[in-house]
Structure 1
Amino acid sequence: MRRIIAHALGSVSLAVLALGGARAQGADPDLVKRGELLATAGDCVACHTAPGGKLLAGGYYLTFPLGLGKVATPNITPDKETGIGDWSDEDFRRLMQDGITRSGSYIYPAMPFPWYTRVSTEDIRAIKAYLFSLAPVSAPRKPNDLVFPLNLDISREGLLGWRLAFFTNKRFEPDPARSPQINRGAYLVQGLGHCGACHNGSKLVGTSQWAGYLEGGTTDQWFAPNLSGDDKEGLGAWTEDQLFTYLKTGAASGRAGVAAGPMRQVIDESLSKLPDDDVRAIAVYLKTLPAKSTYEERTPSAFDQSAPPGSQAYLSHCVSCHRQDGKGVPGAFPALAGNGAVLAQGPETVIRVILGGLSARGEYAAMPAVGAGMTDEEVAQVTNYVRQSFGNQAPATAKPGQVGTLRADTASMLAGNGSCEPVANADVARALDEPDAAAQLRDVKAEDMLPRINAVLPKVKAAAPQASQADLVNGLTARFCQVANRDAAGPTWPVALGNFASLVYGQIKNPDRASK
């Protein structure tokens, strides 16, 4: 699901702000290393590396909300003609902290400078040193595609009113009443991490981090959950260790659900690569947030009927994994009862997961894209059903039209309408590159999947002994996607992929099953 993080005007990666600067000569290696970690905290790669493109050379299009068009991200390597090669330290600082270009014009809050203004000047200098240490890449910026009048330079003049209303140019100030660890977490969340760009509630286009602070909100048609201390919607029932593990891996023992959509990318490309101390600080800070509930629980009368809408779809597509009581199977299939994504104010994430599936994460199996074979009405009904069943009382607001919109915008490998994912683990990839392994995954009929998996899996495990369970499931599924004969694999490609991933998972959990 890479690239889903391109979510409108609020969450462009940290590297957007580096539109230029004189290449540093003989930069302090420690400063460069520190800058690399800070740039990782801002997830520069997400927006500034186009699919199949060179690292940080730009060329990725960010979609603005409300049909306003799209803007191309710039090349932020230190190429002097097409990248960031000629800006001074002050030019760089001014853009990051003030949101003003070298020419003195205001920039659209597509770059989240309302958050980056809180980053210290010393950290800005370190980020610049890292970016200028990279090899220059010649990559001219692609043209923007914005609607009138946003496609006119004069439209930027209207930004003054927005800045007066929403922008406060101010650095982060530690709270002397709080511990250094909590202050570090607050600094990362409010600044480089710009978490509010997705998780704020009452945000306008590009508004500041103080609007509905971290109470949950829609971003690029996903719902970023409530991060407050609310026991129902938020993190109140999470332990600090569970939250730390989730931020590092995308799943946590004892908590239902796994990271999906934009959050999955944030974890894979940013949080998982940060020092444990920084991620722990984020978890500790988030656990200090007071509870903020965003909706009142209520049970619509339609769900008091003996056969509520969505119940049949749940029995047909969901009950085998998530069980009749919605509690799932611990360590295998997440519970829907009490699941944070299910309890969120908006249904977008649940709908997208039904439509696009989920790769394996932690100890959890991959989820097939069951919605690929369902109608929009069925998806809406089963979404409302799980949000109103098993003790859940989230708003039953999903509609077929909303599902149709999200279906058109949801492309994933498991749904069969997205590109095959790469094999992320290098050792697993090398093992699957062996000719006999690749041959086993070609021209596989449905009835042959299990014996072929049993022929390949032991060899891959032996060649990649440090690979996690999720690495093995996702790696084999991705390679199967890349080389399989889709016509031979089964009745529909999404079903075939889902079956294959489930069989790999089953053989890892129960390796002796095939011989019985």
Structure 2
Amino acid sequence: MRRLRALAATSGFVSILTVAAVPGARAADQDLIKRGEYLVTAGDCVACHTAPGGKRLAGNYVLNTPIGKIRTPNLTPDKETGLGNWSEEDFYRAFHDGISKDGSYLYPAFPFGWYTKVTKDDVKAIWAYLQSLEPVNEPRKDNEIPFPFNIRTALITWRTAFFSAGEFQPDPNASAEVNRGGYLVEGLGHCGMCHNERKLVGNSGLAGKLGGGVIDGWYAPNITPNDHQGIGSWTDEQVITYLKAGTAPGNAPGVAAGPMRQTIEESLSKMTDADLKAMVAYLRTQKARETYKVKDLEAFNQPNAPGSATYLSYCSSCHKPDGRGVEGAIPALAGNTSVQSQGPETVINVILGGLGAQSGYAPMLAVGQGMTDQEVADVTDYIRNSWGNKAPVIADRGVVSQARGQIKTMLAGNAPCAEIEQPAIAKALDEAGLADALKDIRQEDFIPRLDGLLPKIKAAAPGAKDDDIVNGLTTAFCKVAKDNEFYRNAPWHAVIGSFSNVVYSQLKNPEKRAEIRSVPGAAPPRN
């Protein structure tokens, strides 16, 4: 949602030049646009309205829903393909009531069940921001929804059963902070869209509110104050830090992955501390939900569990035999509430797809690519039920096969090499002579070549985060080396994972580079 056009009091748009002629009005409009930009960020509109490789907020992102594939609309003010011919009233009706400009019902994949709670003044600010965007001509591609779900008039049944329009009503007995948090969680944040336990797409009021649930093949965990399965054992500081950075001190939070990581990067990390604090305060007031009974869990014979050998072979060198990881470098699995969610999907996805460096933590190899489905299932059960952890064992082993078919990542070696997201990192890599440094690079060359390369990158991009350097170099290595004949018979997920971890280690332990340089006969850097 975004960009600039002022609304006339009577007939819609006035030109920017007209607004510029009235300094007071221009300042007011700019303030409104700025507020709208923040609200769009809080609503994480970019996530669903920007296609991979597409223009920001120009739509055509594919939502995989239970009724088929829905492609999102263009939110820029392009008159042919976007919102250029919409009025503010048209937009409010869609946002608040789920009814499009032409009078058709919107599919509840658009979270109007939550957005209806947003005030009219805030919708006005969002609209002003969207209209300030550079128009992008991006025709919307067709949805892929089979009969009878492609008949929009049938949505009246869903609306009658589940949808009630109306702005958020503050609780007179709650503090202003709690009510602000409730407005964000229940409205723009639409947290229940992922975190409700038993949900129908788009419904914000079903049982199991915020108790956790599966979304797009990932498990959105319980975020109620439950001590074991939710955030009850987390401190406020831990929750706020997690929402900002995707991890937090202590064992409980773990590391954000999948859709939550994207939400943090694009939305939550850009919100004010006051708003994050308010959201946490509101979550603390919710009913603590238990999505499974610990006492009813199937007995798990930890010492002789099938997954124990797999864990020792693939996982213990980083996460340690006791599951405690390495503080600040490898997240703990023991006591990790995300690991102990009702559903195993997120753990399985991370094992199969790996994780890039984030929040100072080392990248994780896609170790599951070297395991059988049975081994992935066994080690998942082992992790979720060891060192005091308790979670349901996997009932349907087909969930691993299904996840393997869906998870496509650069680290797993089953997706194209990514693009370097930060221009500053791309420029620094180029200035450091990356092309020559990585040419025909073999695994035995990783350390000496990085030893010569990393100081140059740090000098070229002095303010760059280590995470971005690790991920940027890993992406560059993928592009240069994936088709290298040296690796034709090697498991690519292990090669790229090894490179990524060497980069991380060399960045975090620069003294090791000095030790390497001082070793007689050590290979010289090849720049």
TM-score by length of 2: 0.89
For the residue of structure 1 that corresponds to 2:214, the secondary structure is: strand
Deviation at 1:229, TM superposition (A): 0.7
Structure 2 equivalent of residue 211 of structure 1: 207
The answer to whether the Cα contact below 8 Å between 1:445 and 1:488 also exists between their aligned partners in 2 is no
* Alpha-carbon contact 2:408-2:414 (below 8 Å) kept: yes
TM alignment of 1:24-39, pairs within 5 A: 25=15, 26=19, 28-39=29-40
Q: Structure 2: how far apart are the matches of 1:240 and 1:389?
A: 26
- 1:112-135 residue CA offsets vs partner (Å, 9 max, x unmatched): 111000000001011111111111
Q: Deviations over 1:343-371 (max 9, x none)?
A: 00000000000000111111211111001
Q: Does 1:243 align with 2:239?
A: yes
Is residue 297–residue 391 contact of structure 2 (8 Å, CA) maintained in 1?
A: no
Q: Distance in 2 between matches of 1:79 and 1:124?
A: 19
Asked if structure 2 preserves the Cα contact closer than 8 Å seen for 1:489 and 1:496, the reply is no
Q: CA deviation at 1:400?
A: 3.3
Moved more, 302-311 or 317-326: 302-311
Task: Work out the CA distance in 2 between the residues paired with 1:500 and 1:400.
Answer: 32
Contact residue 98 and residue 105 of structure 2 kept, 8 A: yes
Within 1, Cα distance between the matches of 2:412 and 2:124? 43
Q: Distance in 1 between matches of 2:432 and 2:73?
A: 40
Mapped pair 1:89 → 2:85: no
| CA contact 1:35–1:123 (8 Å) conserved in 2 | yes
User: Partners of 2:197 and 2:479 in 1: how far apart?
Assistant: 40
CA distance in 2, matches of 1:177, 1:46: 35
Secondary structure of 2:294's counterpart equals coil
Aligned to 2:155: 159
Deviation at 1:102, TM superposition (A): 2.7
| 1:50/1:30 CA distance change after superposition, 3 Å | same
1:379 to 2:376 alignment? yes
Which amino acid letter does the alignment assign opposite residue 202 of structure 2?
Answer: G
Q: In structure 1, which of residues 157, 163, 169 is the aligned counterpart of residue 165 of structure 2?
A: 169
Paired with 1:483 and 1:94, the residues of 2 have a C-alpha distance of: 50
Which one-letter code corresponds to 2:168 in the other structure? Answer: F
1:5 is matched with none
Residues 225/306 of structure 1: CA separation in 2 closer, same or farther (3 Å cut): closer
Amino acid at match of 2:45: C
1:190 has 2:186 as partner: yes
Match of 1:316 in 2: 313
Q: 1:72-471 counterparts in 2 under 5 A?
A: 72-151=71-150, 155-255=151-251, 256-298=253-295, 303-304=300-301, 306-397=303-394, 399-434=396-431, 436-471=433-468
| Unaligned residue ranges in structure 2 (runs of 5+) | 3-10, 20-25, 517-527
1:158 shift after superposition: 2.4
Q: 1:7 — aligned with what? A: none
Q: 1:147: how far off?
A: 1.1
CA gap 1:301/1:253 in 2 versus in 1, 3 angstroms: closer
User: Structure 1 pair 251/426, CA: closer, same or farther in 2 (3 Å)?
Assistant: farther
Equivalent residues of 2:112, 2:202 under 8 A apart: no
Indicate yes or no: 2:39 matched with 1:43.
Answer: no
Q: TM (normalized to structure 1)?
A: 0.91
Contact 2:97–2:112 (Cα < 8 Å) also in 1 = yes
- Residue in 1 that maps onto 2:54: 53
Show the counterpart of 1:9.
none
Secondary structure of the residue aligned to 1:340 is: coil
In the alignment, the residues of structure 2 paired with residue 170 and residue 384 of structure 1 have an alpha-carbon distance, to the nearest angstrom, of: 43
Do the aligned residues in 1 keep the contact of 2:49 with 2:57 (CA within 8 Å)? yes
Asked whether the 8 Å contact 2:59–2:75 carries over to 1, the reply is yes
Deviates more, 1:437-446 or 1:214-223: 437-446
Q: Which residue of 2 aligns with 1:62?
A: 63
- Judge conservation of contact 1:437–1:456 (CA < 8 Å) in 2: yes
The residue identity in structure 1 corresponding to 2:501 is S
SS in 1 for 2:114: helix
Structure 1, gaps ≥5 residues long: 1-13, 16-20
CA contact (8 A) 1:441 1:480 kept: yes
1:401 to partner: Cα distance: 1.3
361-370 or 484-493: bigger deviation? 484-493
CA distance in 2, matches of 1:304, 1:73: 47
Identity %: 55
> Which structure has more RCO (C-alpha within 8 Å, separation ≥ 6)?
1
Shift of 1:23: 5.0
Deviations 1:437-490 (A, max 9, x none): 232123210111111111111111222222223222222212222323543564
Name the stretch that deviates more: 424-433 or 237-246: 424-433
CA displacement at 1:419 relative to structure 2: 2.9
SS in 1 for 2:339: helix
Give the SS at the match of 2:63: strand
Which amino acid is the alignment partner of residue 95 of structure 1? A
Q: Aligned-residue CA RMSD in angstroms?
A: 2.0
2:12 and 2:493 map into 1 onto residues whose CA distance is 49
Q: 1:198 to 1:126 in 2, by over 3 A?
A: same
